[in-house]
Amino acid sequence: MTAIPRTVAAAGETELLERVSELLTAQREAADAPRIAIAATAASGLVALAAGRATEAVELLVVAAEWERRLGWPYRAACLDLDVAQALTAAGAERDASAARERATAVLAPLRCVNAY
């Protein structure tokens, strides 16, 4: 489910991303479902990144990626690690961004994944 806000963010559709984030947040409040909660957290992080709030984006995206990892979803976590890396770069933490990209590559490269969504 994180593929939806990630794709919208990658397309640069900030207004649509904000609406998607609002919808996911509303669904999160109405249902006890980890997939929705993770997607809402990721969407909020991507909105923060688009708005130039890199530190907030890092915090939210790391939470979403770690949650995916804890639930045993390494592919989904790796996809989010790419967004974490982007947010870390925006925050000026290039060393940490490189580590996030390496984590993602460790999962995605063996799959020969080119477009991680």
The per-residue pLDDT of the chain, averaged, comes to: 96
16 pLDDT more than 80: yes
Domain at 3-111, CATH homologous superfamily: Tetratricopeptide repeat domain (1.25.40.10)
Give me the pLDDT at residue 29, please. 87
Long-range CB contact pairs, 2-7, < 8 A, 24+: 2/38, 2/39, 2/42, 2/43, 2/64, 2/68, 2/76, 2/79, 2/80, 3/79, 3/117, 4/39, 4/43, 5/39, 5/42, 5/43, 5/46, 6/42, 6/46, 6/79, 6/80, 6/83, 6/117, 7/117
Residue 60's pLDDT band (boundaries 50, 70, 90)?
A: very high
Give me the pLDDT at residue 77, please. 98
Nearest to 63 by CA among 86, 45, 85: 45
109 pLDDT more than 80: yes
32 pLDDT more than 90: no
Average pLDDT over residues 62-66: 98
Average pLDDT over residues 68-88: 97
Average pLDDT over residues 66-92: 98
Distance CA 50, CA 46 (A): 6
DSSP single-letter state for residue 115: S
Give me the pLDDT at residue 117, please. 76
